[in-house]
Amino acid sequence: MCSRRFYLPLLATMWLLAGCNRPATTAVELPEQPEFRDGDLVLRCGHGLESRAVTFQSGSAYSHIGILQYDSTQGQWLVLHAVPGEAPQGEPEYLKREPISEFYAYDRATIGAHVRVRCSDSIAREAARYAERKVREHIVFDNDYLLLDTSQFYCSELVWQAYLHQGLDLSDSIRQEVPQTFCREGECIFPSDIANSTKILYVKPFKTITL
């Protein structure tokens, strides 16, 4: 069981020591003509305590990851991802498929990056389709962070499974302890584990602007 008396001081310490190295007034500047493809990945770091916990334990600047997919009917790039704390109060935290501009809204992201997986366009496209199917199935966020349970997903678990179903293990079999602040025990995959994988071609940080 999670001890509130123990974790509140820990959270306060992480808030002071393990930020995303950007002021809250910093926003991500997306390219006007991005060189994206379906199945590319996007990274970000947010403002919340869970973001601080992930960056603190992983030693990475990024705390969240999603998969890109182009929607020709909307004429824009969408991000498929699993995220807690963004659903209206009392509603399930379903997987999301939203415009990249919302994914990088200033109140959700301080930094970001574009990630290309080292694979064919067709494999990347199928990975995006896998994630889209999970969104349409109304899969919810995995608050237990269980890698062996595919009925729910957290962010890097969704990305990992999407490519694992195409024969690529983007985790390189690396596992990390679930952050203690999540009040869970077990192993997980961090966004940085995927970003640092040998199967990644490049990670290109986006420019940032000060609001």
pLDDT digits (tens, 9 = 90+) for 90-133: 899 999 999 999 999 999 999 999 999 999 999 999 999 999 99
Nearest to residue 208, comparing CAs of 116, 115, 65, 104?
A: 104
Distance of alpha carbon 182 from the chain centroid? 16
Closest CA to 44 of 79, 72, 5, 76: 79
Q: What is the pLDDT at residue 21? A: 54
Per-residue pLDDT at 193 exceeds 50: yes
More confident residue, 9 or 162: 162
Half-sphere exposure of residue 138: CA atoms within 13 angstroms, side-chain side = 2
Q: What is the dihedral of CA 195, 207, 46, 22, to 10 degrees?
A: 110
In this prediction, residue 12 has a pLDDT band, given cuts at 50, 70 and 90, of very low
Percent of the chain with pLDDT over 90: 69
Nearest to 112 by CA among 99, 100, 120, 123: 100
87, amino acid identity: A
Inter-residue contact 86 to 96 (CB < 8 Å): yes
C-alpha triplet 130, 164, 92: angle, nearest 5°: 50
**Is 60 exceeded by the pLDDT of residue 85?**
yes
Is residue 66 predicted with pLDDT exceeding 50?
A: yes
The pTM for the full model equals 0.88
Summarised one tens digit per residue, pLDDT across range 143-172 is 999 998 889 999 999 999 999 999 999 999
Cβ atoms of 65 and 81 within 8 Å: the answer is yes
Q: Identify the CATH class of 34-210.
A: alpha beta
Q: Indicate the SS3 state at residue 52.
A: helix
For residue 162, the model assigns a pLDDT of: 98
Contact 53, 46 (CB under 8 A): no
Please check the confidence at residue 40 and state whether its pLDDT lies above 80.
yes
Average pLDDT, the chain: 88
- The per-residue pLDDT for range 41-53, each reduced to its tens digit, is 999 998 877 888 8
